[in-house]
Structures are given as C-alpha cells and as structure tokens.
Amino acid sequence: MSLQIGDPAPDFTLPNQVGESVQLSSLKGQKVVLYFYPKDDTPGCTKEACNFRDRWDAFSAHGIRVLGISKDGAASHAKFIDKHALPFTLLTDVEPCAVASAYESYGLKKFMGREYMGMMRHTFLIDEEGKIEKIYLKVKAATMADTLLTDLGLS
C-alpha cells in the first residue's frame, strides 16, 4: 500500500444519501473515520454499520465524524440508513470508484472462483489536520467501531 500513516488524506467530494456534496477537506479540525464497504444491506456490511451505530455515542461525544463509502446510490443509502437507524453519513463513489481507488480500496476480488472488481473493506482514521492517522486493511466487520475506539483509548 502506498498510502502511509502521516500522509495527507486524498481529498474528495462525493454525494451523500440525500444528494448533498460532502468534501473531506471541509471537515478539517475534526477526526474522520472513513470506511469503505462493498454493498448496502448485505450481512457483513450491515454488521459493520450497526457496530458504528451502536457505538455512535462514543464517536459523537468526541466529535469524530463517520463516513461510509460504497458504490451504492443515494436511494440505496437512504433505505439502508432508515432500515437500521444509522446516525452517520453514507457516500456514493460510482464506477470507476476514483475515491476508493485513491485510498487503494477498490480492486480485483475473488469469490467462489470468480474474479471481479469491487470495493475492499478498509477503514482509515484521518486526524484533525487531514492526515492519515490509522489504516485498517484487515477489517472485522462486526467489531470495526470497537477496534477504533479501543485504539483511540475511548472504549
């Protein structure tokens, strides 16, 4: 991976679940959790989103923004948020997934002997200065939020 801890986080502007643009650089001054996930309302992605939801009080109490990114559109994100009462923002990164590619979180995947291009389950913690503070490439969907809070000394 060429992105390293301490590197400036690649800036982006993406639409959220209601079609409004969110620009990463506008969030300087606060920590941001940026997590990439394959698809709304699938078992692993739901576990990950619900873990962030269930630990939301700890993130919000410390002013930490959580942004989930997948290829799904605004309507899919809105439905996912409503179904699971998710209190954070979901962003859409459509093909060719330029933002996910900049974070090395989009690429060749294998499933049941089939190869395809898809979103990797990676998580990045971006500090108040807009630099990468932590990189998680081996994500356990059901406990990613717990892991982040433990690593930040907030659990």
Any long-range contacts for 22-28 (C-beta under 8 Å, 24+ apart)?
Answer: 22/67, 22/89, 22/91, 24/126, 24/130, 25/130, 27/65, 28/128, 28/129, 28/130
What's the whole-number mean pLDDT along residues 22-51? 97
Which one is catalytic: 9, 14, 33, 45?
Answer: 45
**What structural domains and CATH numbers belong to the chain?**
13-147 (3.40.30.10)
pTM for the model stands at 0.95
The residue to which tokens 């939801």 are assigned: 53
Contact indicator for 86, 52 with CB cutoff of 8 Å: yes
pLDDT tens by residue, 53-79: 999 999 999 999 999 999 999 999 999
Q: Any catalytic annotation for residue 97? A: no
Distance between CA 40 and CA 72 in Å, rounded? 7
